[in-house]
Amino acid sequence: MAGPLIRIEGLRVAFDGAPAVRGVDFAIHRGEALGIVGESGSGKSVTWLAALRLLPEKAVVEGRVSLDDDNLLEAPIERMEHLRGGRIGMIFQDPASALNPVLTIRRQMAEALALHRGLSGKSIDAEARRLLDLVGIPDAAGRLKSYPHEMSGGQNQRVMIAMALAGNPDLLIADEPTTALDVTIQAQILDLLQLVRRETDMALVLISHDLGVVAENCDRVAVMYAGRVVEEAPARTLFEAPRHPYTRGLIDALPTLDAPRRLVAIPGVVPDPRRMPPGCAFSPRCAHAAPACLGAVPELRRLEPGRRIACARAAELDLQPAATALPAETARPEVRA
Amino acid sequence: MSAPLLSLNEVTRTYTSRKGLFGTPVAVQAVAGVSLEVRPGETLGIVGESGSGKSTMGRMALGLEAPDSGSVRFDGAAMPDPGSESWRSLRKRAQMVFQDPLGALDRRLPVADQIGEPLEIHGIGDKAARAAAIARSLEMTGLSADHGRRFPHELSGGQRQRVIIARALITDPELLVCDEPVSALDVSIQAQVVNLLIDLQAERGLAMIFISHDLRVVRQISQRVAVMYLGHIVEEGTAEEVLRDPQHPYTRALVSAAPVPGARQRQRVILTGEPPNPAARPSGCAFHPRCPLATDRCRAEMPVLTRLAPGRRAACHLIQHTPAGMAAK
Amino acid sequence: MIRYIASRLLRAALTIALVVTFAFIVLRLSGDPATIILGPEAPPEAIEAFRHNWGLDRPVLVQYFDYFRAILRGDLGISMRDGRSAIELVGERIPATLALTIPALFLQLAIGIPAGVYAALHQGTAFDRTVMVSAVFGFAIPSFVLALALVLVFSVKLGWLPSGGRDSWMHAILPILTLGLGGAAALARFTRSAMLEVLGRPFIRTASAKGLPWAAVVRGHALPNAAIPTVTLVGFLVGSLIAGAVVVESVFSWPGVGRLLVVAVSNRDLAVVQCLLLLVAASMVTSNLIVDFLYGVLDPRLRQGARAGA
């Protein structure tokens, strides 16, 4: 197997002295879909914005992001501009505000096509139409003249995807791409991402707070907490047999459509980045915390191929699902009309 | 079977919206002839996407908005007009919990003062009694007295939502309307608040209307569920029945679209088309442009909400209205 | 769209009518022109004759409607002072005022917008702080104080520039600076905050993620959005230039409409004052119309509203 497409090593990001990402390593191979799950403040978006150097200047970034022979964190800015939107596309949450309200769709797509494909004039229109067709926008020719406010949120996200595809990227980073959308539209967009991936063999990083979204659409999933990866595993394995107490906690906290069961909430809140607890950042909220957890920050260790975990007690813990579904009658009094 | 605490009978609500300052006003029907009942101690989940009219339903249930036609009855009596004296006194019996706790709180006041506000408004108790009630409310929602002394921005999102719930509960209401109360919260915190609501409801026999776009949370918290699409209820029944065995094609699509961890590459129903626009309601069944099963009849004739079984209703031409026909389609 | 324009024009006409009415009322209430023009010592017969001549002895309502009808015919009356037509009197002063206000407006735009944009792009630097501080001063210092300070430095101390009159282009420099600097500072501060607001919006990050160089992001994405709120302020500045002209022309003895207004008001020269107020109102209303129109050009969301309304 060839080396990874992109490799992040020892990435650290701090804002005004407060760490947001505290040492993160990732490797993504061609055509692979990596899901990144975490709650707010976990650093899941900041990691990728930092990798593309899209953070404001006050952010202090350390580490290495390798794409072929380039270290993206040190490459000249012209090189970065060539890669952004070219080999690496990115789409964001809330497509309505991620598109420029005063420019037509044509103009916004044309920028990417001119930059990365060297197109101009008529050939831009033709290619823009082809891309809008590809992402399933009806009346692509007419839509080129539209402004973002004349389209729905789902359509705007399709435009964002078309724009990201303009540079024929090897990697698409999708940062909470469906969070602002209705459920049925979310399903459409995730389906579209799968379709595009099948057709282009593009790698995908899907960042989401929703375990369900990530589980259904990715090969591999990494769970982040307080600026670090705490567990990484093939999607199925992660959900069937999580090894980190935080991952277990997230799964147990998630309501399902099956019969209701008592949700197991994780007590407490995410730590303040300026006042990180000693040792494992999750230990103050962890039911399994032991003295060992308060010493050093646990390293992300490889358990088996494709499986990494950062827990001092990983070897000894046997994390069972918190509760199996209770019979509906005893769980909740059903009121019948 | 108890008498309903709240009943909405054929309520409609139409807004006029105009595009631009001098645009022609367009009538937008947010809720189109909906009937619902909530019994004491029961939680009714209202599910729908944006534009379904679910939040308007919630405001009408509380009497914050009067329906254009139809009636709302609370505890057997007609809902008084918004702003009237009897309406104000009804406020303490029915309270609301909003999605955005920061927006619903005053940044300049310690949260304990805000929790006690409804008592002041309704002139309940003296100073000591109010302080005791605030302390009780804080404790009930899992907050400490120290939390009460803080300002909204000094609390986390989950704690702020607890404050909102504490404030809603301080007048000991019989009905709580929650509009997307956990949508803005992280999963681990969401579970804390959902559990809190379930516990409070069980302890105090609260009736609750729980409005959400998230089927999974609604399933967790509701006994009955009503699914709304473009101002109509398209399906209603116990949460168990509606979400395990959805009858209406829209409910089926919603259930299918809910992401489930560990169930990779399922065959899911993906609806084509855009979310509904209340300003441009399609003819016939409002769902037909997106329905994979739509027939000519669906395009022409609006289906009525029909009883399928006790407590189970759906509005679809394709459902055979016999108990045996329910599964076969 | 036609309906949108028609409604705007109707509103503009209404505004002007209100200004005219207001001026009429205020001027009638604030003293008798006859006594002021003829002097307090004038014999009662002379005053009576003057009033009769100018129609001031008729009922106020009749005067009002006559006046209004005359305006609609384009007849703005005759100066009570020297008997010339008010329009002519005002008209010959307009070029002098434009010679101050137009360069002052360009000065505001040429300093304010680039300074604001540059400050926003270099937030927190010495330049940014300088812009912020001078903006506070620019807004806080009344124009007559600034005028006197400029005269003190450039005319009295340095002797570089004349302190009053209108004999050469040199005479225009200090009045233009006085009129322009305050607005330039305000515009810089406003442009800065408009830019900062836009630079924080998500589509800026999208543009960068597309691979656009930063300069292109600023030019192609940030500026067109920041221009929308800035246009409002420019419209406001045009209005304040007219007000500023009254003060500045008086301080620098500049023979423009502003000074004419001061003189005409103190003389109770009704026709001239009314003509001037009409001119001021018309230019305010016109600049507002231009602002509205620019909104439509700059912001497609408003265009949409206008189109739907048509």
Express each pLDDT in B194-204 by its tens digit. 999 999 888 88
For residues C206 and A161, is the Cβ–Cβ distance under 8 A?
Answer: no
Q: List the single residue in C with minimal CA-CA distance to B24.
A: C309
Residue A229 included in any domain: no
pLDDT at C102 over 80: yes
Torsional sign, CA B311, B314, B315, B321:
negative
**Strands of the sheet with B69-74, listed across from one edge:** B26-38, B6-17, B69-74, B77-78
| C-alpha to C-alpha distance for A247 and B18, rounded to whole angstroms | 49
Question: Which ipTM was obtained for this model?
Answer: 0.87
| C-alpha to C-alpha distance for B237 and A50, rounded to whole angstroms | 49
pLDDT at B242 over 90: yes
Three-state SS at B34: strand
Is some CB atom of chain A closer than 8 A to the CB atom of C229? no
Residues A41 and A92 both lie in one domain: yes
Q: Which residues of chain B have a CB within 8 Å of the CB of A39?
A: 186-189
Residue B218: per-residue pLDDT = 93
Residue B201 belongs to domain with CATH number: 3.40.50.300
Chain B neighbours (≥3 Cβ pairs under 8 A) are: A, C
> Domain span at residue A145?
32-49+76-218
Burial class (CB within 10 angstroms; exposed 0-12, middle 13-18, buried 19+) of A170: buried
Residues of chain A with pLDDT under 50: 325-337
Residues A274 and A173 both lie in one domain: no
For chain C, what percent of residues have pLDDT higher than 70? 95
* Average pLDDT for B47-70: 90
pLDDT at B329 over 50: no
Residues A101 and A198 both lie in one domain: yes
Residues A318 and A214 both lie in one domain: no
Chain A neighbours (≥3 Cβ pairs under 8 A) are: B, C
pLDDT digits (tens, 9 = 90+) for A114-158: 999 998 889 999 999 999 998 988 888 889 999 999 888 889 999
pLDDT digits (tens, 9 = 90+) for B136-160: 899 888 888 889 999 998 888 888 9
Residues B218 and B132 both lie in one domain: no
Residues A255 and A209 both lie in one domain: no
Q: Which residues of chain C have a CB within 8 Å of the CB of B22?
A: 3-4, 7, 309
Residue C310: per-residue pLDDT = 29
A119 or C303, which is more confident? Answer: A119
Residues A113 and A193 both lie in one domain: yes
Residue A61 included in any domain: no
C46 or C211, which is more confident? Answer: C211
pLDDT at B84 over 90: no
Residue A124 belongs to domain with CATH number: 3.40.50.300
Tell me the pLDDT band of B324, cut-offs 50, 70 and 90. Answer: very low
pLDDT digits (tens, 9 = 90+) for A165-183: 999 999 999 999 988 888 8
Domain boundary among A218, A234, A251: A218
| C-alpha to C-alpha distance for B302 and C225, rounded to whole angstroms | 45
pLDDT digits (tens, 9 = 90+) for B270-299: 888 877 788 888 889 999 999 988 999 999
What is the least distance, in Å, from the CA of A23 to any CA of chain C? 23
Residues A45 and A126 both lie in one domain: yes
> Domain span at residue B157?
105-172
Q: Which residues of chain C have a CB within 8 Å of the CB of A92?
A: 202, 205-206, 209
* DSSP conformation letters of chain C: -HHHHHHHHHHHHHHHHHHHHHHHHHHHHT--HHHHHH-TTS-HHHHHHHHHHHTTTS-HHHHHHHHHHHHHHT---B-TTT-SBHHHHHHTTHHHHHHHHHHHHHHHHHHHHHHHHHHHHTTTSHHHHHHHHHHHHHHHS-HHHHHHHHIIIIIIIS--S-SS--SSTHHHHHHHHHHHHHHHHHHHHHHHHHHHHHHTSHHHHHHHHTT--HHHHIIIIIHHHHHHHHHHHHHHHHHHHHHHHHHHHHHTT--SHHHHHHHHHHHT-HHHHHHHHHHHHHHHHHHHHHHHHHHHHH-HHHHHHHHHH-
Is some CB atom of chain B closer than 8 A to the CB atom of A327? no
* Average pLDDT for C142-164: 81
Average pLDDT value over all residues in chain C: 83
Tell me the pLDDT band of C70, cut-offs 50, 70 and 90. Answer: confident
Residues B59 and B152 both lie in one domain: no
B213 or C78, which is more confident? Answer: B213
Residue B221: per-residue pLDDT = 92
Residue A335 included in any domain: no
Tell me the pLDDT band of C306, cut-offs 50, 70 and 90. Answer: very low
Residues B247 and B124 both lie in one domain: no
Give the total number of structural domains in chain B: 2
Residue B99 included in any domain: no
Residues B28 and B132 both lie in one domain: no
pLDDT digits (tens, 9 = 90+) for C187-223: 999 999 999 999 999 999 999 999 999 999 999 999 9
Residues A118 and A180 both lie in one domain: yes
Nearest to B122 by CA among B101, B164, B93: B93
Contact across the interface for C4 and B20, Cβ inside 8 Å:
yes
pLDDT at B257 over 90: no
Is some CB atom of chain A closer than 8 A to the CB atom of B188? yes
Cα Rg of chain C (Å, integer):
24
Residue A18 included in any domain: no
Tell me the pLDDT band of B263, cut-offs 50, 70 and 90. Answer: low
Residues A258 and A112 both lie in one domain: no
Walk me through the domains of chain C, giving residue ranges and CATH numbers.
Answer: 2-91 (no CATH), 94-255 (1.10.3720.10)
Residue B25 included in any domain: yes
C142 or A294, which is more confident? Answer: A294
pLDDT digits (tens, 9 = 90+) for A35-62: 999 988 899 999 999 999 999 888 999 9
Give the total number of structural domains in chain A: 2
Phi-psi domain of A305 (left: phi exceeds 0; alpha: psi -120 through 50; beta: other):
beta
Token pair 């953070």 is found at: A55
Q: List the single residue in A with minimal CA-CA distance to C200.
A: A56
Contact across the interface for B23 and C309, Cβ inside 8 Å:
yes
Average pLDDT value over all residues in chain A: 88
Residues A89 and A197 both lie in one domain: yes
Helix (H) or strand (E) holding A284: none
Residue A25 included in any domain: no
Average pLDDT value over all residues in chain B: 86
Residues A210 and A146 both lie in one domain: yes
Residue B319: per-residue pLDDT = 85
Interchain CB contacts (distance < 8 Å): B and C? 24
* Average pLDDT for C71-83: 78
Q: Pick the range with the lowest mean pLDDT from A123-127, B48-52, C114-118.
A: B48-52
For chain B, what percent of residues have pLDDT higher than 90? 39
**Global pTM exceeds 0.95:** no
Contacts of B311 (CB under 8 A, 6+ apart): A336, A337, B224, B236, B237, B238
Is some CB atom of chain B closer than 8 A to the CB atom of A336? yes
Contacts of A11 (CB under 8 A, 6+ apart): A21, A23, A24, A25, A47, A50, A51, A61, A62, A63, A64, A65
* Average pLDDT for B246-251: 93
Q: Which residues of chain A have a CB within 8 Å of the CB of C219?
A: none
Residue B100 included in any domain: no
Tell me the pLDDT band of C281, cut-offs 50, 70 and 90. Answer: confident
Residue B229: per-residue pLDDT = 93
Residues B238 and B187 both lie in one domain: yes
* DSSP conformation letters of C191-243: HHHHHHHHHTSHHHHHHHHTT--HHHHIIIIIHHHHHHHHHHHHHHHHHHHHH
